[in-house]
Amino acid sequence: MDILNYKEETLVLDEGVNDPGIFKAIILAGGPGSGKSHVAQKLGLKTLGLRVVNSDNFFTMLMKKKGLSLKMPADEFEEREVARMAAKGLTDKQLSSTIDARLGVIIDSTSGDQKKTIKIIKKLAAAKYDIKVIFIETSLETAQKRNQQRSRTIPPNVVEFAWKGAQKAKKFLKASVPSRNFHEIKNEFDGKVDMSAAGKLTSWANKLSPAAMEWIAAVKRGQDSMTTETINNSIKSFYEFKSTYRLQ
């Protein structure tokens, strides 16, 4: 695929059914400037073997590719929106491929698009994923300060709008998973993070679910005796992913 002169890399999966974190998903939610990356690092989420899906990464890359300013000036609005839509398309494809192959995933979300986030959770549940929602709580004041420190900034009124949207979405995210799978973590400007959930998340990620064990068994025996359409389709997607993607 060639979007804005960006060609996707060819990737190859090495670990197969032994890939860590399969059938596990973390929705990392919060408004802009909530410090999701900082919290993820503190909790050691990236050591769990889950793949990060974040449209901001594609968006920033595409903006740089087209020579657009990360300060988001008004005169670049149209070109920037093209990059934003392309980034969303790439992100959706990456997420779909990851889910189809049943690989573990961290979805970095601002929670601004509540309907889309809930739709993703339902898609993960339909694929029999174990899902955790981690909501990063921060004050609007802190969100504004962090926004000004970023290389890619957005207008203060947009920060406020998105922050309020995330607050409204929180109750829906909380209701979308069992209470034990929803974690709210405060992260104010001092950067101090409650680490109490770290050990629980590690244990959760390392424990295979019944759905994961059934899928692994089906893959290892070449699906010969499997008649369930869902299992067969996921195995097919897994092998397609294996031959197409090398995960970073």
Please give, one letter per residue, the 3-state secondary structure of 86-107: HHHHHHHHHHHHHHHCCCCEEE
Q: What is the pLDDT of residues 138-196, one digit of tens each?
A: 999 999 999 999 888 888 998 999 899 899 989 999 999 999 999 999 999 887 888 88
What are the structural domain ranges in the chain?
Answer: 2-6+20-191+199-208
Alpha-carbon gap, residue 123 to 34, rounded angstroms: 25
How sure is the predictor about 11, in pLDDT bands with cuts at 50, 70 and 90? very low
pLDDT of the residue at 15: 45
The SS3 of residue 53 is: strand
Task: Please give the mean pLDDT across all residues of the chain.
Answer: 82
DSSP assignment of 131-189 equals: EEEEEEE--HHHHHHHHHHSSS---HHHHHHHHHHHHHHHHHHHHTS-GGGEEEEE--T
CATH for 2-6+20-191+199-208 is: 3.40.50.300
Q: Is the dihedral of CA 140, 145, 148, 149 positive or negative?
A: negative
